[in-house]
Amino acid sequence: MRRETIEKCVVTAILVATFAMLPAVGYRNGQTEQLLPHVAYMFCHANVWHLAGNLFVLWIMRGKLHLIPSVMIAFLLSYLPSCSIWGEVGTTLGFSGVLFAIAGVKWGVYCRYASAMGRLFGRTAIHEFMMKALPFALIGMFIPHINWCIHLYCMLAGFAYGRGSR
């Protein structure tokens, strides 16, 4: 079995077990004094459809997942403030921050290799990222009860990590 498949199986088992056996724990905007909500939020989900959607996206991703840096990015950036056009951002929970970080890392790696091929091609790759990937992080701005900020933060930080890492 490939490493990516094993990682997906382990993540799926953890997310399903957490959903089935533990209460949903998330963090609220500006809540910085407690560590547990900022660690637990990415393993908890609001409902079965939320969990199923995140697992679907996890399983359609191809190639290396960059799980450790993506989890660290999602954890660290959960401390940044969030906003919403719908009023106060409620409790944030779900694996999507990690998924957006994974996507950002993958795009960063792609752009790093593309820029190594030549300056013009590298600019095209970054343009592709801005036109193809970033809209998925920004669309959440118009959907109530979605912390689009953590999606955007994680995708951009993942991109920077992927672009800069060797």
Model-level pTM?
Answer: 0.94
- Structurally, the chain folds into a number of domains equal to 1
Collapsed DSSP state (helix, strand, coil) of residue 150 = helix
Cβ-based neighbour number of residue 81 at 10 Å: 10
Question: How far apart (Å, rounded) are the C-alpha atoms in residues 145 and 88?
Answer: 9
Q: Widest CA span of the chain, in angstroms?
A: 51
The one-digit pLDDT tens for each residue of the chain (166 residues) are: 899 999 999 999 999 999 999 999 999 998 889 999 999 999 999 999 999 999 999 999 999 999 999 999 999 999 999 998 888 888 999 999 999 999 999 999 998 888 777 655 556 888 889 999 999 999 999 999 899 999 999 999 999 999 998 7
What CATH number should be reported for the domain holding residue 103?
1.20.1540
Q: What is the extent of the structural domain holding 75? A: 3-83+92-164
Annotate 60-80 with b (16+ C-beta within 10 A) or e (fewer): eeeeebbbebbbebbbebbee
